[in-house]
C-alpha cells in the first residue's frame, strides 16, 4: 500500500507549460510504480485539461492554472483548475468533436480523451468564475501485484 501523498502546482497559462505540467504529474505518479501505458494515459489527460484552461478558460490571456494531485493506495486523483471565463453548457462542451473554437483547428476531443484515458471525470464550472475538473484513475498494475 502506498501512503497518502499530495502535491500542488501553480503556473502561468502559457502553452509552454503544458509539457511541464504533464511531466511533473507523471513524475509524482511514478511513486505508484505505474505501467508505461498508465503513465502515458495520465500525461495525455493532464495535457488536455491544462490546454483547455489555457485556450478556453483564459482564452490565451494571462491567468494561473492550478494542478493538484493526490495519490493513495493505488488511486491517483488529479484536479485542474482555472479562474477564467467558465463553461456555460458543460454537456455541450463534453460532446465528442464539439469545439467552441473551430477556427483554431481544435479537434473537440479533449474531454473525450480525458474520459477515455481516466476512470472518472467530473467537471465543475461557473461562468466568469472558472472551471475545475477532477479526474481519477486506479493503477491496475499495482492492484494486480497485491
Partner 1 sequence: MQLSTDIVNDYLVVELKGELDHHTSEDARKKIEQYYYNNNLLNIILDLSQLKFMDSSGIGLVMGRYKNCKERNGNLLIVSTSPYVNKILKMSGLMKIIKVYSTIDEAIKG
Instruction: Give residues in contact with partner 1 (CB under 8 A).
Output: 15-16, 18-19, 22, 37, 40, 43-44, 47-48, 51, 54-55, 104-107, 109-110, 112-113, 116
| CA angle centred on 61, ends 39 and 117, rounded to 5° | 20
Q: Least distance to partner 1 from the beta carbon of 98, Å?
A: 12
Q: Which three cell numbers, joined as nine digits, stand for 95?
A: 460532446
In the complex with partner 1, the residue whose CB is nearer, 1 or 36, is 36
Least distance from C-beta 127 to partner 1, angstroms?
Answer: 23
Q: How far is the CB of 45 from partner 1 (least distance, A)?
A: 9
**1 versus 104: smaller Cβ distance to partner 1:** 104
Active site members: 48, 52, 106
What is the crossing angle of helices 17-29 and 36-52, to 10°? 140
Which strand ranges, in their side-by-side order, compose the sheet holding 5-12?
5-12, 64-72, 75-82, 130-138, 120-126
* Closer Cβ to partner 1, 11 or 72, answer by number: 11
- Helix ranges, the chain (H): 17-29, 36-52, 90-93, 110-117, 140-145
Amino acid at each position: 500500500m502506498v501512503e497518502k501523498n499530495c502535491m500542488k502546482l501553480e503556473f502561468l497559462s502559457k502553452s509552454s507549460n503544458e509539457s511541464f505540467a504533464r511531466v511533473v504529474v507523471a513524475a509524482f505518479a511514478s511513486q505508484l510504480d505505474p505501467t508505461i501505458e498508465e503513465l502515458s494515459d495520465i500525461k495525455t489527460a493532464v495535457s488536455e485539461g491544462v490546454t483547455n484552461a489555457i485556450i478556453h478558460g483564459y482564452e490565451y490571456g494571462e491567468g494561473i492554472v492550478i494542478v493538484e494531485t493526490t495519490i493513495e493506495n493505488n488511486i491517483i486523483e488529479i484536479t485542474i483548475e482555472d479562474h477564467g471565463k467558465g463553461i456555460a453548457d458543460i454537456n455541450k462542451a463534453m460532446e465528442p468533436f464539439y469545439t467552441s473554437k473551430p477556427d483554431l483547428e481544435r479537434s473537440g476531443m479533449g474531454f473525450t480523451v480525458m474520459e477515455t484515458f481516466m476512470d472518472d471525470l467530473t467537471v465543475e464550472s461557473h461562468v466568469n468564475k472558472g472551471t475545475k475538473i477532477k479526474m481519477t484513475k486506479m493503477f491496475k498494475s499495482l492492484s494486480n501485484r497485491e
